[in-house]
Protein backbone atom coordinates (compact mmCIF):
# COMPACT_ATOMS: atom_id res chain seq x y z
CA UNK A 1 0.00 0.00 0.00
CA UNK A 2 1.34 3.41 -0.98
CA UNK A 3 1.76 5.89 1.85
CA UNK A 4 0.61 9.44 1.47
CA UNK A 5 2.92 12.38 2.08
CA UNK A 6 2.13 15.10 4.58
CA UNK A 7 4.44 18.07 4.92
CA UNK A 8 5.25 18.87 8.56
CA UNK A 9 5.60 22.54 7.60
CA UNK A 10 7.47 24.92 5.33
CA UNK A 11 8.98 28.41 5.34
CA UNK A 12 5.57 30.10 5.41
CA UNK A 13 3.57 27.62 7.50
CA UNK A 14 6.41 26.89 9.98
CA UNK A 15 5.14 23.96 12.08
CA UNK A 16 1.65 23.80 10.55
CA UNK A 17 1.32 20.55 8.59
CA UNK A 18 -0.25 20.37 5.16
CA UNK A 19 -1.51 17.91 2.60
CA UNK A 20 -1.09 18.72 -1.09
CA UNK A 21 -1.91 17.54 -4.58
CA UNK A 22 -0.30 18.40 -7.93
CA UNK A 23 -0.86 21.98 -9.03
CA UNK A 24 -3.06 22.56 -12.10
CA UNK A 25 -3.68 18.82 -12.73
CA UNK A 26 -5.82 18.51 -9.58
CA UNK A 27 -7.36 21.95 -10.09
CA UNK A 28 -10.57 21.79 -12.10
CA UNK A 29 -10.67 25.54 -12.70
CA UNK A 30 -7.13 26.78 -13.33
CA UNK A 31 -7.75 29.05 -16.31
CA UNK A 32 -6.94 32.27 -14.47
CA UNK A 33 -4.10 31.13 -12.26
CA UNK A 34 -2.05 28.35 -13.92
CA UNK A 35 0.52 30.69 -15.47
CA UNK A 36 1.19 32.42 -12.13
CA UNK A 37 0.85 29.39 -9.85
CA UNK A 38 3.47 29.58 -7.09
CA UNK A 39 3.09 25.87 -6.29
CA UNK A 40 4.27 24.86 -9.76
CA UNK A 41 7.74 26.18 -9.00
CA UNK A 42 8.39 23.77 -6.12
CA UNK A 43 6.55 20.99 -7.94
CA UNK A 44 8.90 21.29 -10.92
CA UNK A 45 12.08 22.12 -9.01
CA UNK A 46 12.06 19.39 -6.37
CA UNK A 47 11.79 15.75 -7.49
CA UNK A 48 10.61 14.59 -4.05
CA UNK A 49 7.82 17.17 -4.03
CA UNK A 50 6.79 16.11 -7.52
CA UNK A 51 6.65 12.45 -6.48
CA UNK A 52 4.84 13.17 -3.20
CA UNK A 53 2.07 15.31 -4.73
CA UNK A 54 1.53 12.81 -7.57
CA UNK A 55 1.42 9.90 -5.12
CA UNK A 56 -1.14 11.74 -2.96
CA UNK A 57 -3.31 12.38 -6.01
CA UNK A 58 -3.06 8.77 -7.16
CA UNK A 59 -4.15 7.52 -3.72
CA UNK A 60 -7.00 10.04 -3.63
CA UNK A 61 -8.32 9.05 -7.06
CA UNK A 62 -7.91 5.29 -6.62
CA UNK A 63 -9.14 4.79 -3.05
CA UNK A 64 -10.63 7.71 -1.14
CA UNK A 65 -11.28 5.54 1.91
CA UNK A 66 -7.61 4.59 2.04
CA UNK A 67 -6.66 8.25 1.83
CA UNK A 68 -9.07 9.13 4.63
CA UNK A 69 -7.76 6.34 6.86
CA UNK A 70 -4.16 7.45 6.37
CA UNK A 71 -5.03 11.10 7.08
CA UNK A 72 -6.96 10.12 10.22
CA UNK A 73 -4.01 7.99 11.37
CA UNK A 74 -1.69 10.97 10.98
CA UNK A 75 -4.03 13.41 12.70
CA UNK A 76 -4.51 11.12 15.70
CA UNK A 77 -0.92 11.89 16.69
CA UNK A 78 -0.80 15.48 15.38
CA UNK A 79 0.02 17.87 18.23
CA UNK A 80 -0.99 21.19 16.66
CA UNK A 81 -4.28 23.08 16.37
CA UNK A 82 -3.95 24.12 12.72
CA UNK A 83 -3.77 22.14 9.49
CA UNK A 84 -3.58 23.38 5.89
CA UNK A 85 -5.45 21.54 3.18
CA UNK A 86 -3.56 22.07 -0.09
CA UNK A 87 -0.49 24.23 -0.24
CA UNK A 88 -0.79 22.92 -3.79
CA UNK A 89 -3.88 21.53 -5.51
CA UNK A 90 -7.60 21.86 -5.00
CA UNK A 91 -10.77 19.99 -4.10
CA UNK A 92 -11.14 17.95 -7.29
CA UNK A 93 -14.54 16.36 -6.55
CA UNK A 94 -17.51 16.66 -4.21
CA UNK A 95 -16.66 13.28 -2.65
CA UNK A 96 -13.14 14.46 -1.92
CA UNK A 97 -14.45 17.65 -0.31
CA UNK A 98 -16.95 15.62 1.73
CA UNK A 99 -14.09 13.43 2.95
CA UNK A 100 -12.38 16.51 4.37
CA UNK A 101 -15.63 17.64 6.01
CA UNK A 102 -15.88 14.25 7.74
CA UNK A 103 -12.26 14.41 8.87
CA UNK A 104 -12.72 17.92 10.29
CA UNK A 105 -15.79 16.75 12.22
CA UNK A 106 -13.76 13.88 13.64
CA UNK A 107 -11.05 16.29 14.91
CA UNK A 108 -12.91 19.31 16.32
CA UNK A 109 -9.83 20.64 18.14
CA UNK A 110 -7.88 21.05 14.88
CA UNK A 111 -8.61 24.06 12.67
CA UNK A 112 -8.59 23.08 8.98
CA UNK A 113 -8.32 25.58 6.14
CA UNK A 114 -8.18 25.35 2.36
CA UNK A 115 -8.48 27.61 -0.65
CA UNK A 116 -10.54 26.63 -3.68
CA UNK A 117 -11.62 27.72 -7.11
CA UNK A 118 -14.51 25.21 -7.10
CA UNK A 119 -17.20 27.70 -6.14
CA UNK A 120 -20.21 25.56 -7.05
CA UNK A 121 -19.53 22.51 -4.89
CA UNK A 122 -21.86 21.88 -1.94
CA UNK A 123 -20.34 23.56 1.12
CA UNK A 124 -23.33 23.05 3.38
CA UNK A 125 -22.75 21.09 6.56
CA UNK A 126 -19.30 22.56 6.93
CA UNK A 127 -18.00 22.04 10.48
CA UNK A 128 -17.04 25.16 12.44
CA UNK A 129 -13.38 24.12 12.49
CA UNK A 130 -13.07 23.98 8.67
CA UNK A 131 -12.64 27.23 6.76
CA UNK A 132 -12.98 27.31 2.98
CA UNK A 133 -11.79 30.44 1.19
CA UNK A 134 -12.69 31.11 -2.44
CA UNK A 135 -9.66 32.08 -4.50
CA UNK A 136 -9.92 34.83 -7.11
CA UNK A 137 -7.30 36.45 -9.31
CA UNK A 138 -6.65 39.78 -10.97
CA UNK A 139 -6.66 38.02 -14.36
CA UNK A 140 -10.40 37.37 -13.95
CA UNK A 141 -12.87 39.83 -15.50
CA UNK A 142 -13.22 42.99 -13.43
CA UNK A 143 -15.70 42.65 -10.58
CA UNK A 144 -15.58 38.83 -10.46
CA UNK A 145 -14.34 38.73 -6.86
CA UNK A 146 -17.19 40.93 -5.64
CA UNK A 147 -19.77 38.90 -7.56
CA UNK A 148 -18.48 35.62 -6.11
CA UNK A 149 -18.37 37.04 -2.58
CA UNK A 150 -21.98 38.23 -2.80
CA UNK A 151 -23.29 35.07 -4.46
CA UNK A 152 -21.70 32.52 -2.13
CA UNK A 153 -21.17 34.42 1.14
CA UNK A 154 -17.67 32.97 1.59
CA UNK A 155 -14.42 34.74 2.40
CA UNK A 156 -12.50 35.70 -0.73
CA UNK A 157 -8.78 35.52 -1.39
CA UNK A 158 -7.51 37.80 -4.13
CA UNK A 159 -4.12 37.27 -5.77
CA UNK A 160 -2.60 39.99 -7.88
CA UNK A 161 -0.05 42.72 -8.29
CA UNK A 162 -2.24 45.48 -6.84
CA UNK A 163 -4.42 45.21 -3.75
CA UNK A 164 -8.05 46.15 -4.48
CA UNK A 165 -9.27 49.42 -3.00
CA UNK A 166 -11.18 49.42 0.27
CA UNK A 167 -10.66 47.68 3.57
CA UNK A 168 -12.05 44.22 2.78
CA UNK A 169 -8.72 42.47 2.26
CA UNK A 170 -6.16 41.64 4.94
CA UNK A 171 -2.59 41.57 3.65
CA UNK A 172 -0.87 38.19 3.76
CA UNK A 173 2.29 38.57 5.85
CA UNK A 174 3.81 35.28 4.60
CA UNK A 175 3.99 33.76 8.08
CA UNK A 176 0.99 31.54 8.80
CA UNK A 177 2.24 30.39 12.19
CA UNK A 178 2.37 33.99 13.36
CA UNK A 179 -0.85 35.19 11.71
CA UNK A 180 -3.44 32.39 11.31
CA UNK A 181 -6.00 34.95 10.06
CA UNK A 182 -7.07 32.74 7.14
CA UNK A 183 -8.29 30.03 9.51
CA UNK A 184 -10.66 32.53 11.15
CA UNK A 185 -11.87 34.81 8.34
CA UNK A 186 -15.46 36.02 8.67
CA UNK A 187 -16.22 39.47 7.30
CA UNK A 188 -12.92 40.09 5.54
CA UNK A 189 -10.79 38.39 2.92
CA UNK A 190 -7.08 38.12 2.26
CA UNK A 191 -4.83 39.60 -0.42
CA UNK A 192 -1.84 37.71 -1.79
CA UNK A 193 0.71 39.70 -3.72
CA UNK A 194 2.07 37.78 -6.71
CA UNK A 195 5.64 36.70 -6.03
Residue range 171-175: mean pLDDT, rounded: 92
Q: What is the predicted pLDDT for the residue at 46?
A: 74
| Range 65-70, long-range pairs (CB < 8 A, 24+ positions) | 66/1, 67/4, 67/99, 68/99, 68/102, 68/103, 70/3, 70/4
Q: Can you tell me the distance from the alpha carbon of 135 to that of 151, in angstroms, rounded to the nearest whole number?
A: 14
Residue 111 located in a structural domain: yes
> Which range marks the domain in which residue 76 is found?
6-193
**How confident is residue 195, by pLDDT bands cut at 50, 70 and 90?**
low
Percent of the chain with pLDDT over 70: 99
Question: Tens of pLDDT along 76-108?
Answer: 999 999 999 999 999 999 999 999 999 999 999
Residue 73 located in a structural domain: yes
Residue 1 located in a structural domain: no
Q: How many domains does the chain have?
A: 1
- What is the dihedral angle through the alpha carbons of 142, 163, 35, 60, rounded to the nearest 10 degrees? -100
The residue among 10 and 51 whose pLDDT is bigger is: 51
- 6-20, 34-48, 103-117 — which is least confidently predicted? 34-48
Residue range 168-189: mean pLDDT, rounded: 92
Quick check: helix, strand or coil at residue 164? coil
Mean of the per-residue pLDDT values of the chain: 91
Question: Tens of pLDDT along 40-74?
Answer: 777 787 789 889 999 999 999 999 999 999 999 99
The residue among 98 and 195 whose pLDDT is bigger is: 98
- Does the structure show a pLDDT above 80 at 12? no
Q: What is the predicted pLDDT for the residue at 10?
A: 75
Residue 77 located in a structural domain: yes
Residue 32 located in a structural domain: yes
Contact between 155 and 144 (Cβ < 8 Å): no
Residue 129 located in a structural domain: yes
The residue among 195 and 116 whose pLDDT is bigger is: 116
Amino acid sequence: MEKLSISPGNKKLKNIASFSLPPVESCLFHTYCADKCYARKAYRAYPNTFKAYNRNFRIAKENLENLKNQLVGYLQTYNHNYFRIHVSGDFFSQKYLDMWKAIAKQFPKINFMGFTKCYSFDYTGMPDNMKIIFSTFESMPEGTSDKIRKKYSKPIAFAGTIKPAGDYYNDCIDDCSECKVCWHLKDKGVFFHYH
